[in-house]
Amino acid sequence: MAKQYLVIVESPGKIKKLKHILGADYDVIASMGHVMDLPPKSFGIDLEQMDADYVVLKKDVAKKLRTAAKKEYRIVYLASDPDREGEGISHHVANLLKRANPKLTLQRVTFDAITPSAVLAAFKKPRDLDEQLVAAQEARRLLDRLVGFPASRFLWQFVDGKGLSAGRVQSVALRLVVERDDAIQAFVPQEYWIITGVFKVEKGEFSAKLTHWKGKKANIKTRAEANVILDALKDVDFRIGSVQPKQRIRKAPIPFTTSTLQQAASSNLKMSPDETMRHAQKLYEEGYITYMRTDSPAVSPEGVQMAKATLRSLYDERYIGKVIYKAKGNAQEAHECIRPTDTQVSPRAVKAALNEKNKRAGDLYDLIYRRFLASQMSPAIYDEVHVSVIGGEVLFTAKGSRLAFDGFLRMYNFSEEKERKSKKLSDDEAENDNTNKQLPPLTVGESAEAIKITPEQHFTKPPLHYSEALLVKALEKHGVGRPSTYSQTVATLKKRRYVTVQKRRLIPTERGKEVHQVLSTKLSGLFEVPFTAEMESALDEIAAGKRESKAYLKTFWSKVSPLFGEKVIQGVLKPRSSKKGKSTKPRKSRKTSKKVSADIPISPELGACPTCGKALVKRKSKHGAFIGCSGFPKCRFTKAIS
């Protein structure tokens, strides 16, 4: 019996699951991502009209789609991913299908999770393609090409090397990495001193930090200054100046968005952003989690009810939180957070269902599962006591802290990767921490004997190099790029060899520094963080119908094109050679490049070339010295030096 409906998704990994959910009346095929796109080797944009010259990238997939279009399906459902890029893919698939069969009935469906409830609900409410989202996605694609193609060609004039490129988001990310490295290299450590006292009271001992000297906040820069204070503390009687009980509330973490998932996976699972997204894609296609590209922490009512039901089965009512998470003002689309589709499915069950090859995906599910349930739990509560010790002209302070109620920590106690908070000292938190796990019972006015007062020398530390996750966090903070681009951006920096990864930190290479130097000085302003963030805001306005895309692109091009120069623009617009693999990038000839590596002077004892009779010479290469014919490149005789 012929199928009545056709569903077209992006990834073949979804097919089996969707067929099971939808039943025997549905055919499901995959577009394998983008079927059509701008041509990979030519500009592909009509600058006067700002029209895109799309080409078919996957001819075998396109043929399969055209064949399917000729069948007698009642409805063809376009079910690519629920974001702008997915909308653009559906738009191109629709164009291919309509050319093959103009009578087809096409409808768009989106779902954030591949579960029976989410999928069937989506098919009950199909819609037309969202032309505003399509326009925003096309504008983004054209922006990338308008910047990337000429900027890359411009770069080739100044930096030699294979595989060089520049990009709208990629080059801003490189800028952040290089500027952070510059700050580290230029950093001059500053000396400072911390004075710690150990005090004995009637019911115990505790340590405290000297925080004030002569009524002002202590800022001890040298050993001499520390000695002055130490001399003043001799024979001083100390007493407890104040005892202030306080309560500190540590809120539950927000549910995962794309960037926070990448940061947490980096800190706790040692996963790169690219690896994190691969495993998240697998979990999404298997129906275990909701869509993994989102910048919204919002949770659907169904998700909240499900989480609280699970928590009630595990803990008492005290652990159930009441917080509501909302999307940020600049969040794209109406997605919810990344969460389990069913909190009754435990991490252990998922790990058992996945094969050994996907073990890391199981670890990622465990992180997502715990984070989501924790987000719906009560805060952790700490009982704290803040104490001051006074004597002479100094004041010491100490803090005692005790966990009074574990709250969400009972479910989720993973660490998060953070920058050092102190801008001034940039030091390890432990060096400035005056927290005791527990203080002895103290009374205001009671005597405190100074058992030991110790000065410690420290030096301020430079900022940290970005980790992959912290670079993602910085890009998100500055409004550069979007969730779907983060992991790809970081991966590109590594692929181009602009950065290396050392101890999980991104270090710019000499090549990366050279590329940044050219782009930042000769294309001033184009790869500034605020300028790139403005582009993202414009794309948001296009998606919301508040700005016309072609008018924006024309204005943008009129502003940036003069930066590249007429020669570059003409080179970009000139069609590339159809010869496979040929590049328009200017390269040195093989003969010229060999002359750059100087020959070692001819030695008569080397003799004549056995191939052509010309003199043999010693040559240098990146692999070391060797013997070659002086008649190169016509004669290619070589031999090793014994």
Q: What is the pLDDT of residues 598-608, one digit of tens each?
A: 344 445 457 77
Asked if residue 394 lies in contact with residue 383, where contact means CB atoms within 8 angstroms, the answer is no
With tokens 């409906």, the residue in question is 5
| Segments in 287-378 forming alpha helices (H) | 301-314, 347-353, 359-375
User: Lowest-pLDDT range, 83-97, 259-273, 513-527, 628-642?
Assistant: 628-642
User: Lowest-pLDDT range, 12-26, 41-55, 237-251, 574-588?
Assistant: 574-588
Set 26, 77, 288, 291: catalytic member: 291
Flag whether 582 is in a domain: no
> Is a pLDDT exceeding 80 seen at residue 48?
yes
Exposed/middle/buried for residue 593 (C-beta within 10 Å: 0-12, 13-18, 19+):
exposed
Q: Say how far apart CA 413 and CA 253 lie, in whole Å.
A: 10
Tell me, yes or no, whether 397 and 508 share the same domain: no
Name residues whose C-beta falls within 8 Å of residue 11's C-beta, 6 or more positions apart in sequence: 30, 32, 33, 281, 285
CA distance readout (Å), 268 to 272, 366, 367: 11, 11, 9
What's the distance, CA 396 to chain centroid? Answer: 42
Flag whether 272 is in a domain: yes
Q: Say how far apart CA 417 and CA 265 lie, in whole Å.
A: 10
Question: Across residues 375-385, what is the average pLDDT?
Answer: 96
Q: Say how far apart CA 380 and CA 407 lie, in whole Å.
A: 4
Q: Peptide bond before 633: cis, by omega within 30 degrees of 0?
A: yes
Tell me, yes or no, whether 61 and 111 share the same domain: yes
Res 626: pLDDT: 77
- Per-residue model confidence as pLDDT tens digits over 107-139: 999 999 999 999 999 999 999 999 999 999 999
Tell me, yes or no, whether 160 and 247 share the same domain: no
Q: Say how far apart CA 486 and CA 471 lie, in whole Å.
A: 9
Res 161: pLDDT: 78
Nearest to 291 by CA among 338, 232, 224, 331: 338
DSSP 338: B
Asked if residue 154 lies in contact with residue 523, where contact means CB atoms within 8 angstroms, the answer is yes
Q: Say how far apart CA 76 and CA 4 lie, in whole Å.
A: 9
> Is a pLDDT exceeding 60 seen at residue 330?
no
Asked if residue 9 lies in contact with residue 79, where contact means CB atoms within 8 angstroms, the answer is yes
**Is 73 labeled as catalytic in the residue annotation?**
no
Last residue of a domain, one of 375, 409, 429: 375
CATH value at residue 32: 3.40.50.140
Nearest to 55 by CA among 70, 43, 47: 43
Res 298: pLDDT: 92
Res 481: pLDDT: 84
| Segments in 388-495 forming alpha helices (H) | 429-432, 468-477, 483-495
Tell me, yes or no, whether 477 and 544 share the same domain: yes
Last residue of a domain, one of 336, 356, 375: 375
Tell me, yes or no, whether 57 and 166 share the same domain: no
Tell me, yes or no, whether 427 and 479 share the same domain: no
Instruction: Determine what percent of the chain is predicted with pLDDT higher than 70.
Output: 89
Confidence (pTM): 0.81
Range of the domain at 630: 590-639
Tell me, yes or no, whether 36 and 87 share the same domain: yes
Nearest to 81 by CA among 112, 36, 118, 58: 112
Tell me, yes or no, whether 343 and 418 share the same domain: no
Total number of domains in the chain:
5
Flag whether 578 is in a domain: no
State the pLDDT confidence band at 334, using cuts at 50, 70 and 90.
low
Flag whether 584 is in a domain: no
Q: Say how far apart CA 298 and CA 372 lie, in whole Å.
A: 11
Res 428: pLDDT: 43
Tell me, yes or no, whether 206 and 298 share the same domain: no
Tell me, yes or no, whether 294 and 307 share the same domain: yes
Flag whether 213 is in a domain: yes
Last residue of a domain, one of 129, 148, 168: 129
> Is a pLDDT exceeding 90 seen at residue 41?
no
Tell me, yes or no, whether 168 and 212 share the same domain: no
Pairing mode, strands 75-78 and 106-108: parallel
CA distance readout (Å), 506 to 288, 356, 529, 585: 32, 30, 19, 28
> Is a pLDDT exceeding 70 seen at residue 577?
no
Task: Tell whether the torsion through CA atoms of 608, 613, 615 and 617 is positive or negative.
Answer: negative
Return the CA Rg of the chain: 32
What value does the mean pLDDT of the chain take? Answer: 87
Asked if residue 608 lies in contact with residue 614, where contact means CB atoms within 8 angstroms, the answer is yes
Exposed/middle/buried for residue 430 (C-beta within 10 Å: 0-12, 13-18, 19+):
exposed
Res 471: pLDDT: 93
